[in-house]
Amino acid sequence: MRRTRVVLAAAHLDHNPGNNRLRNLKSLCQRCHLIHDRPHHLARRRITYLLRRALGDLFLGPYSVYFKLQASRSTLRSDGQSQGEATA
Protein backbone atom coordinates (compact mmCIF):
# COMPACT_ATOMS: atom_id res chain seq x y z
CA MET A 1 0.00 0.00 0.00
CA ARG A 2 1.33 3.40 -0.96
CA ARG A 3 0.98 6.38 1.32
CA THR A 4 0.90 9.95 0.08
CA ARG A 5 1.01 13.16 1.98
CA VAL A 6 -1.62 15.75 1.10
CA VAL A 7 -1.04 19.40 1.92
CA LEU A 8 -4.21 21.37 2.60
CA ALA A 9 -4.65 25.04 1.87
CA ALA A 10 -7.26 27.49 3.14
CA ALA A 11 -9.39 28.75 0.26
CA HIS A 12 -11.41 31.96 0.51
CA LEU A 13 -14.72 31.13 -1.16
CA ASP A 14 -15.38 34.76 -2.15
CA HIS A 15 -11.71 35.35 -3.21
CA ASN A 16 -11.37 38.12 -0.63
CA PRO A 17 -8.37 37.45 1.66
CA GLY A 18 -9.69 40.03 4.13
CA ASN A 19 -12.83 38.00 4.78
CA ASN A 20 -11.69 35.35 7.26
CA ARG A 21 -15.09 34.23 8.53
CA LEU A 22 -15.29 30.49 9.03
CA ARG A 23 -18.17 30.13 6.57
CA ASN A 24 -15.99 31.83 3.91
CA LEU A 25 -13.00 29.48 4.42
CA LYS A 26 -12.71 25.96 3.10
CA SER A 27 -9.88 23.48 3.50
CA LEU A 28 -8.87 22.19 0.04
CA CYS A 29 -5.99 20.19 -1.37
CA GLN A 30 -3.69 22.18 -3.65
CA ARG A 31 -5.22 20.77 -6.84
CA CYS A 32 -8.78 21.54 -5.75
CA HIS A 33 -7.71 25.00 -4.58
CA LEU A 34 -6.26 25.79 -8.02
CA ILE A 35 -9.42 24.51 -9.70
CA HIS A 36 -11.54 26.66 -7.37
CA ASP A 37 -9.45 29.77 -8.08
CA ARG A 38 -9.07 29.23 -11.85
CA PRO A 39 -11.88 31.59 -13.02
CA HIS A 40 -10.62 34.30 -10.65
CA HIS A 41 -7.01 33.86 -11.84
CA LEU A 42 -8.05 34.01 -15.49
CA ALA A 43 -9.99 37.24 -14.88
CA ARG A 44 -7.03 38.80 -13.02
CA ARG A 45 -4.66 37.71 -15.82
CA ARG A 46 -6.84 39.38 -18.43
CA ILE A 47 -6.97 42.60 -16.40
CA THR A 48 -3.18 42.55 -16.01
CA TYR A 49 -2.65 42.09 -19.75
CA LEU A 50 -5.03 44.93 -20.55
CA LEU A 51 -3.34 47.24 -18.05
CA ARG A 52 0.11 46.43 -19.44
CA ARG A 53 -1.11 47.10 -22.94
CA ALA A 54 -2.63 50.41 -21.85
CA LEU A 55 0.55 51.47 -20.04
CA GLY A 56 2.64 50.65 -23.07
CA ASP A 57 0.29 52.44 -25.43
CA LEU A 58 0.11 55.56 -23.31
CA PHE A 59 3.64 56.03 -22.07
CA LEU A 60 5.97 53.72 -24.02
CA GLY A 61 7.88 53.43 -20.79
CA PRO A 62 8.02 50.22 -18.78
CA TYR A 63 6.82 48.09 -21.69
CA SER A 64 8.95 49.64 -24.45
CA VAL A 65 10.84 46.33 -24.71
CA TYR A 66 7.63 44.79 -25.99
CA PHE A 67 7.40 47.38 -28.75
CA LYS A 68 11.08 46.96 -29.69
CA LEU A 69 10.46 43.23 -30.03
CA GLN A 70 7.50 43.87 -32.32
CA ALA A 71 9.53 46.36 -34.37
CA SER A 72 12.37 43.87 -34.84
CA ARG A 73 9.89 41.22 -36.01
CA SER A 74 8.32 43.62 -38.50
CA THR A 75 11.74 44.52 -39.94
CA LEU A 76 12.49 40.82 -40.37
CA ARG A 77 9.25 40.44 -42.33
CA SER A 78 10.03 43.47 -44.50
CA ASP A 79 13.43 41.99 -45.41
CA GLY A 80 11.68 39.41 -47.61
CA GLN A 81 11.06 36.66 -45.09
CA SER A 82 7.58 35.29 -44.73
CA GLN A 83 5.74 35.66 -41.45
CA GLY A 84 6.17 31.96 -40.66
CA GLU A 85 9.94 32.19 -41.14
CA ALA A 86 10.23 35.23 -38.87
CA THR A 87 8.52 33.54 -35.96
CA ALA A 88 10.31 30.19 -36.35
| 3 pLDDT above the threshold of 50 | yes
Over residues 8-12, mean pLDDT: 94
d(CA 80, CA 36): 48
Q: Which residue from 75, 77, 79, 47 is spatially nearest to 67, judged by alpha carbons?
A: 75
pLDDT score of 51:
77
pLDDT in tens, 15-44: 899 999 999 999 999 999 999 999 999 988
Over residues 3-24, mean pLDDT: 93
Q: How large is the angle between the packed helices 30-59 and 64-78, nearest 10 degrees?
A: 80
| 88 pLDDT above the threshold of 50 | no
pLDDT in tens, 56-72: 555 555 555 554 555 55
- Considering only residues 73 and 83, tell me which one the structure prediction assigns the higher pLDDT: 73
